[in-house]
Amino acid sequence: MQHRNLTSGRPSGTDGSDYSYRMVVDSRYQLVAKGKKRLSLYFITEAVLLLIGVTLTYLPGIEADAPNTVAYSSVIVSVVSLIIGNIGRRRSRSGLLRFYAAVSSIAMLLLIASLAQQHLLLKAIQDSKLWKTGKYDVNELSHFQIGKFFFSNSKFVVLGTNLCLNLIICRIVVVSELHFAGLLLYMVTLSVLKLCTVNAVVSLLFNMAPPKKTS
């Protein structure tokens, strides 16, 4: 008899009055699931770019011979924050996601600045002569070859030497242009990815927040 009374009565909250609220909650669940999936793809892409960043950090710069400790530290902090952000994504922890968005953004800015300083990117953009560095001057080598032209007894030796010098200069120019273009492309890609990732985190946090129930 008691069981019949319980089943005959309609439980509170299912009389249809909160239909719109439940529809909003259901829509939020779908948006959260899609946001987590999209954020997972961003995290994977960011991990790949961080590996490339380690490679660029390992490569010797134009002037700096010492290891780039700022870049290494930035990569380590980025990896740690990425792991924390992934935990926050999987467990729906808004605090961890906020921590990831703030810390990884700062680490990304430090990484880009340190790589630009290490490889003298700003100087290379301003200077049209990419083959001219602080250690080797092409003009000095050219003057040396001109002097050698007057003191050499064989024109073939001079011609061959000058040809080799021109080939070396052309190779230096091509390698420098490819190096700086690749570095610039990496920095732009990393910056755009970070903006998209932070935007995805903000959107996910908004959808994870419980909607206000209208009276």
Read off the pLDDT of each residue in 21-42 and give the average, rounded to a whole number.
80
Full DSSP string of 166-182: HHHHHHHHHHHHHHHHH
User: 69 pLDDT band (50/70/90 cuts)?
Assistant: confident
How many alpha carbons lie under 13 Å from residue 163 in its C-beta half-sphere?
6
| pLDDT at position 50 over 90 | yes
Reported pTM: 0.66
The SS3 call for residue 32 is helix
pLDDT at 215 over 60: no
pLDDT digits 0-9 by tens, 131-176: 444 444 444 444 444 444 444 444 445 555 555 665 665 555 555 5
How far is the C-alpha of 81 from the C-alpha of 104, rounded, in Å? Answer: 6
Q: What is the pLDDT of residue 35?
A: 92
Q: What is the DSSP string of 109-122?
A: HHHHHHHHHHTTHH
